[in-house]
C-alpha cells in the first residue's frame, strides 16, 4: 500500500482593498479576538499573531487583536469552546489548518462537525518539514527513516498535533513512502503546539520533529535545529532554497498544511462578510505577500463559500487517508 497527501491550491478572485466598511457597513469588531488552539510558538499561534498585527497595520481593523492561546485536544478544546459557549460572538475568529480538518475527519472532536462553525478564509499553505536537533548525527531523511525501520523504539518523533493529527500523518506519509509497511510502528509523541515539540527535541527527550516550515523557521535561524526534508514537490524559493525536499532524497512524500480561520456558527452574515473581506484584503496586500515569502508560505487564496468547500474536500480526503493507514475504520 502506498499513499500520498496532496492539496489542490485553487486560485480565487482577489478582493479589492475595501476593509470592513465597504463589505458590511454596519459591522466593525469592537474587541477583535483570535483564538490560537495551542500553546505559544506553533503554527496556530503564528497565524493569529501575524494576521492580527497585519490587519491592524493595514487599517483593516480599528483596534488591537487580542490573541488567546487555548490549547488541548489538538484544537478540540477551542472548537468546543466556540461551538458551546461563544456561538454568536461576532468579534471572534479562530486559527485553523489541515490539523483542524484532520481531527474533524477522524471524529476526534467528540460531538462536533465542521458544519457547526463558519469557515472564513485561507491565508496560505505551509509545507511540512521533518527536522532534528542541530547537533544530531542524522544528516538526511533516509538516515532517520532507516533508524525507525531498523528499531522503531529507538526513535521518537515529536509534533504539535494530537496522535493521528496532521503532524503525525506527515511523518507516516514519509515512512510509508520509504517502504515502512507498518507505519503504526513509528513512535510519535504529541505536544500542544509545534513550539513545545521543538523544545522537547532540544531537550533530548525526542530524536526528531515533524511540523511546518513556519514553525521551524525561528529555530533554524537560531541554529537549534536542522531541516532534513521539506515535504514540497520541489525546493522552495529564497532563504528556504537550501532545504532539501523529501522527493530529491528518494522519498515521494508531499505534505502541505493550509492555514486559515473559522468563526462561530452563529456569527451574523454582516460580521461574517466583513471578516471574509478583511482577510481577503490582507491576502491581496503587498505586505502579506512579503510575510508569506519570509515564512515559506505557498499561495492559497480562498474566501467564503470557496473556502468552506475546500475544507469539506480536505476533511473527505483525510478521512480516506486515515482509513488507509488504520487510524479510523
According to the model, what pLDDT value does residue 329 have? 83
- The rounded distance, in Å, linking the Cα atoms of 98 and 170 is 11
What integer pLDDT is reported at residue 72 of this predicted model? 93
User: What's the full length of the chain, in residues?
Assistant: 329
Task: Count the neighbouring beta carbons within 10 Å of the beta carbon of residue 188.
Answer: 23
Q: What letters, b where the CB count within 10 A reaches 16 and e where it falls short, cover 16-48?
A: eeebbeebbeebbbeebbbbbbbbebbbbbbbb
Structural domains of the chain ordered from first start: 31-126+257-324 (3.40.190.150), 127-249 (3.40.190.10)
Helices and strands, counts by H and E, the chain: 11, 10
Give 21-67 pLDDT, tens digit per residue. 444 457 899 999 999 999 998 889 999 999 999 999 999 999 999 99
Which segments of the chain have a pLDDT < 50?
Answer: 1-24
Q: Which grid cell is 162?
A: 494530537
Per-residue pLDDT reduced to its tens digit, 171-206: 998 998 999 988 889 999 999 888 899 999 999 999
Rounded to the nearest 10 degrees, the angle between the axes of helix 305-324 and helix 166-177 is 50
Distance CA 230, CA 15 (A): 31
pTM for this prediction: 0.76
CA distance 264 to 266: 5
Position 1 scores a pLDDT of: 42
Amino acid at each position: 500500500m502506498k499513499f500520498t497527501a496532496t492539496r489542490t491550491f485553487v486560485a480565487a478572485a482577489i478582493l479589492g482593498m475595501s476593509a470592513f466598511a465597504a463589505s458590511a457597513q454596519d459591522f466593525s469588531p469592537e474587541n477583535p479576538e483570535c483564538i490560537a488552539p495551542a500553546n505559544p510558538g506553533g503554527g496556530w499561534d503564528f497565524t493569529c499573531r501575524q494576521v492580527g498585527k497585519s490587519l491592524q497595520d493595514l487599517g483593516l481593523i480599528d483596534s488591537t487583536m487580542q490573541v488567546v492561546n487555548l490549547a488541548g485536544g489538538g484544537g478540540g478544546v477551542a472548537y468546543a469552546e466556540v461551538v458551546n459557549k461563544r456561538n454568536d460572538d461576532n468579534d471572534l475568529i479562530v486559527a485553523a489548518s489541515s490539523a483542524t480538518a484532520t481531527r474533524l475527519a477522524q471524529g476526534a472532536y467528540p460531538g462536533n462537525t465542521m458544519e457547526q462553525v463558519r469557515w472564513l478564509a485561507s491565508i496560505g499553505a505551509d509545507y511540512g518539514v521533518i527536522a532534528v536537533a542541530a547537533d544530531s548525527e542524522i544528516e538526511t531523511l533516509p538516515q532517520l527513516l532507516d533508524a525507525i525501520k531498523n528499531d522503531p523504539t529507538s526513535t521518537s518523533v515529536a509534533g504539535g498535533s494530537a496522535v493521528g493529527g496532521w503532524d503525525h500523518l506527515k511523518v507516516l506519509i514519509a515512512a510509508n513512502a520509504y517502504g515502512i509497511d507498518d507505519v503504526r510502528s513509528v513512535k510519535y509523541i504529541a505536544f500542544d503546539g509545534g513550539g513545545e515539540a521543538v523544545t522537547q527535541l532540544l531537550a533530548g527527550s525526542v530524536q526528531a520533529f515533524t511540523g511546518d516550515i513556519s514553525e521551524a523557521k525561528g529555530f533554524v535561524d537560531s541554529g537549534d535545529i536542522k531541516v532534513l526534508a521539506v515535504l514540497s514537490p520541489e525546493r522552495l524559493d529564497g532563504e528556504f532554497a537550501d532545504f532539501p525536499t523529501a522527493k530529491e532524497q528518494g522519498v515521494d512524500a508531499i505534505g502541505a498544511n493550509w492555514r486559515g480561520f473559522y468563526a462561530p456558527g452563529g456569527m451574523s452574515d454582516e460580521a461574517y462578510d466583513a471578516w471574509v473581506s478583511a482577510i481577503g484584503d490582507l491576502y491581496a496586500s503587498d505586505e502579506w505577500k512579503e510575510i508569506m515569502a519570509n515564512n515559506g508560505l505557498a499561495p492559497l487564496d480562498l474566501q467564503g463559500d470557496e473556502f468552506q468547500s475546500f475544507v469539506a474536500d480536505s476533511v473527505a480526503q483525510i478521512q480516506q487517508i486515515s482509513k488507509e493507514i488504520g487510524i479510523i475504520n
